[in-house]
Amino acid sequence: MVADSSEVLKTLAIKLHEIDAIKFGNFQTKSGLQTPIYFDLRVIIAHPDVMDLLANLLLNFVEEQQVEYEHICGVPYTALPIATLLSSKQQKPMLIRRKEAKSYGTKKLIEGKFGAGDSCLIIEDIITSGSSILETVSDLRAEGIVVNDAIVVIDREQGGAANITRNGVRVHSLFKISEFLGILRSANRIDDVCVREISEYIANNQASVKQKEEPTIDRTKLSYEARLKLSKSPIAKDLLQIIISKKTNLCLAADSNKTVDILNAADAAGPYICVLKTHIDIIDDFNDEFVRSLTALAAKHNFLIMEDRKFADIGNTVSLQYGSGIFHIADWAHLVTVHSLTGPSILQGLKNALNGSSEKRGVFLLAELSSAGSLITPSYTESTMKLVSSSPDADFVAGIVCQTKGVVQDPGLLQLTPGCKIDTTTDGLGQQYNTPAYVVKEKGADIAVVGRGILNAKDIRATAELYRDQLWTAYCERIN
């Protein structure tokens, strides 16, 4: 038993038997299986003392499991009164999932006050295949709600817990059916023959359920505040905090070969950007003082530094390129750009270069390029996104460099899109430009990269402010 085998739990099991919440015979479960034992916890609504006992046990159980959550949702319909009592006792707001959306009014499927990124604990009475919990999880996640844990009263031990776990939800059961039967047998409420028959049935009748596909959440409709809660990357969270506090989604590409020009541009545009992007290997007069000055400006104006290195080698080589050489990129660049050509080892190699440093660092993987005639194919883009979702180092990935709205679906990842310019003429070398509004609303950019449109302006500060305003307005229109 997950919970302590206390007298209170024994009392609850016996009371459930006494009020006929456990029936023996021949019954059919929701999953279609025939069963010699049926749990009907709906009857507890007629027994307030049993309801209160169960609610108190669940309250203690939730605390013992150290589950963190902001809302409670009972699986409709039997678990609703249980969840309601738990919500009241814990003073946690409750959500209600409808089995079908209303055809009138708000037409909501999830009732309650919540925001994308909020966490929710699911309460269920019985699990067999786990399908009811998975349906609830799917509908909650479709609203951007985070679901990591489910509390169930009785686990029939027929595969439901494993099905739910495969869908990314931890299952905590107050009773397992074998333990429940043991309590009833010890209290002489059932005999050995009954226990044996039910145990054999459970062993020979395991339920199965197909793993549900994750619901598609339109990240472009979520606010940066909501996305902050959904991000798994520590450096992405820092970047989102900057974006929110400064109200800017502008990245300045400081692609100059003179340190003085880069520093002047960083100081002038600094108040209006969230990221300053460098190409450190094109600088003619690189030196350590430049790095100290640039990091000081980043601290002064509260922006992150991204080195657009586009790492693309094997793990050991990129580790040396990142942490060693004359540039020591890992020491000062909060973010770097990376190709996924060499697979998962490239992320591990970069992380190894940090040598356990406490500094927050991360990468943007390149899934698409803004240059005309790019050889990156759709299959390469798809493989890059699969790498992000499957890699054990996924928390090192802050975002994706791409040009297409549908590439980044995970709302915790940021889309960085180059090629933004108010004047959309090309540069004659294959670079294609799009207006701030188009980049944000049509291409789905969370952060737009502007280079020469700002660097070549007579007034860098005023031009950076203009880009900042246009990009932020486009973002606000996108989410509304």
Average pLDDT along the chain: 91
Is the pTM for the entire model greater than 0.85? no
Answer yes or no: are the C-beta atoms of 143 and 222 closer than 8 Å: no
431 domain residue, yes or no: yes
Same domain, 68 and 182: yes
| Mean pLDDT computed over 415-441 | 80
For the cut 60, the answer to whether the pLDDT of residue 210 exceeds it is: no
Following DSSP, what letter does each residue of 128-171 receive, concatenated? SS-HHHHHHHHHHHHTT-EEEEEEEEEE--SSHHHHHHHTT-EE
* CATH number of the domain bearing residue 22: 3.40.50.2020
pLDDT of res. 116: 81
Sign of CA pseudo-dihedral 245, 248, 250, 255: negative
- Per-residue confidence band for 432, with pLDDT thresholds at 50, 70 and 90: low
1 domain residue, yes or no: no
pLDDT of res. 104: 58
Same domain, 117 and 240: no
Longest distance between any two alpha carbons in the chain, whole Å: 91
* Residue 302 backbone dihedrals phi, psi, to 5 degrees: 60, 65
| Residues 148-193 pLDDT 10s | 999 999 999 999 999 999 888 999 999 999 999 999 999 999 999 9
| Mean pLDDT computed over 455-480 | 96
* Residue 191 backbone dihedrals phi, psi, to 5 degrees: -105, 180
pLDDT of res. 105: 56
pLDDT of res. 213: 54
Domain containing 124 equals 7-204
30-33: long-range contacts (C-beta < 8 A, 24 or more apart)? 30/128, 30/129, 30/131, 30/132, 31/128, 31/129, 31/131, 31/207, 31/209, 33/128, 33/158, 33/205, 33/207
122 domain residue, yes or no: yes
- Per-residue confidence band for 1, with pLDDT thresholds at 50, 70 and 90: very low
Residues 6+ apart with CB under 8 A from 281: 309, 327
Same domain, 230 and 156: no
464 domain residue, yes or no: yes
* Residue 12 backbone dihedrals phi, psi, to 5 degrees: -65, -45
310 labelled catalytic: yes
352 domain residue, yes or no: yes
| Residues 17-73 pLDDT 10s | 999 999 999 888 776 778 999 999 999 999 999 999 999 999 999 999 999 999 999
Least confident of 86-100, 150-164, 166-180, 423-437: 423-437
Considering the chain, what percentage of its residues have pLDDT values greater than 90?
77
| Of 224, 241, 254, residue with least CA distance to 450 | 254
Alpha carbon distance 124, 76 (integer Å): 8
For the cut 70, the answer to whether the pLDDT of residue 216 exceeds it is: no
Looking at 178, 204, 230, which one is the last position of a domain? 204
387 domain residue, yes or no: yes
Same domain, 229 and 146: no
Residues 6+ apart with CB under 8 A from 327: 280, 281, 286, 307
Looking at 181, 204, 227, which one is the last position of a domain? 204
| Mean pLDDT computed over 344-353 | 93
pLDDT of res. 369: 82
Same domain, 389 and 316: yes
Same domain, 176 and 244: no
Rg of the chain taking only CA atoms, in angstroms: 28
For the cut 70, the answer to whether the pLDDT of residue 223 exceeds it is: yes
Q: 């993987």: which residue's tokens? A: 365
pLDDT of res. 115: 85
pLDDT of res. 309: 96
| Mean pLDDT computed over 9-17 | 95
Looking at 204, 227, 246, which one is the last position of a domain? 204
Residue of 428 and 240 predicted with greater confidence: 240
Same domain, 118 and 61: yes
* CATH number of the domain bearing residue 307: 3.20.20.70
Our CA angle for 398, 309, 232, nearest 5°, is 10
Residue of 106 and 80 predicted with greater confidence: 80
pLDDT of res. 76: 92
Which tokens sit at 471? 């990009």
Considering the chain, what percentage of its residues have pLDDT values greater than 70?
94
Same domain, 46 and 90: yes
210 domain residue, yes or no: no
Same domain, 243 and 171: no
Same domain, 17 and 159: yes
- Per-residue confidence band for 320, with pLDDT thresholds at 50, 70 and 90: very high
> Catalytic: which of 247, 310, 405, 441?
310
Same domain, 376 and 249: yes
Which tokens sit at 166? 């495969």
For the cut 70, the answer to whether the pLDDT of residue 390 exceeds it is: yes
2 domain residue, yes or no: no
Question: What is the count of structural domains for the chain?
Answer: 2
Angle, helices 315-323/345-352, rounded to nearest 10 degrees: 30
- Per-residue confidence band for 103, with pLDDT thresholds at 50, 70 and 90: low
| Residues 246-272 pLDDT 10s | 999 999 999 999 999 999 999 999 999
pLDDT of res. 50: 96
- Per-residue confidence band for 376, with pLDDT thresholds at 50, 70 and 90: confident
Same domain, 239 and 187: no
Task: Give strand pairing partners of 275.
Answer: 251, 304
